[in-house]
Amino acid sequence: MMRLDKYLVSMQVGSRSEIKDFCKKGLITVNGAVCKQSDTKIDEDKDEITFKGKVLSYEKYRYYMLHKPAGVVTATKDHHDKTVLDLLVGVNTKDLSPAGRLDKDTEGLLLLTNDGELIHNLLSPKKHVDKTYYIKARETLNPEDINALENGVDIGEDTLTLPAKVTLLGEKEFLLTIHEGKFHQVKRMLLAVNNEVLYLKRMSFGSLTLDENLAPGEFRALREQEIKELKMRKNNGFR
């Protein structure tokens, strides 16, 4: 059970003072009856709430896949740049957070949700959740470079990076799968083998793969099966 005004604020209907006014004007109904009291207790999972005749559907947790474009920052607020939340036009973004971050110039898969437990599990170093990136590099990887990347390189931390997986696609194009999330990690790993990232795009995160139908800047809600797999999948790694 929760207060009606709290529920409507979470649905981005308005502020508490605005909702109080909406109730007085008879714009809100609970189970078909006009509700004049904004502090009325409701069951958000069972009661039917309408605002101006439109039924509101409550979702405790919300999950969105975004194809992050370059030039957008992975933040909820920024005074200078457009944020990933700014791209989620037309949806309830209240309490949404990105699961991890992508650099401003990096493209690709980003998960946004208000499910804090899932974010924690996906980002926890103990979980070893795989992240796969498509890379265009300045130089071709030689066998020694691949061996180094796959066994751990020095990026200036106390320990070497954990083992990674390299999949060659072309002369200077490849996929790199890691299961850490250190600051600028992929770029630093390439620098460690005397190379440089020219273009970087995240293709997958755990069991979630970027929808090829999403253009940069587009998003969609996750499907039930995708949510289930994110929560249940056991990541055994590739070591």
Residues annotated as catalytic (active site), given as ranges? 103
Residue 237 near residue 130 (C-beta atoms within 8 A): yes
Q: CB–CB of 121/233 below 8 Å?
A: no
Which residues sit opposite 197 in a β-bridge? 137
Contact (CB, 8 A) for 103 and 129: no
Q: Which of 61, 60, 30, 86 minimizes the C-alpha distance to 219?
A: 86
Report how far apart, in Å, the C-alpha atoms of 207 and of each of 60, 81, 182, 220, 226 are. 22, 30, 20, 16, 8
The answer to whether the CB of 133 falls within 8 A of the CB of 199 is no
**Cα–Cα distances in Å, from 78 out to 75, 82, 84?**
7, 7, 10
Report how far residue 163's alpha carbon sits from residue 156's, in angstroms, rounded to the nearest whole number: 16
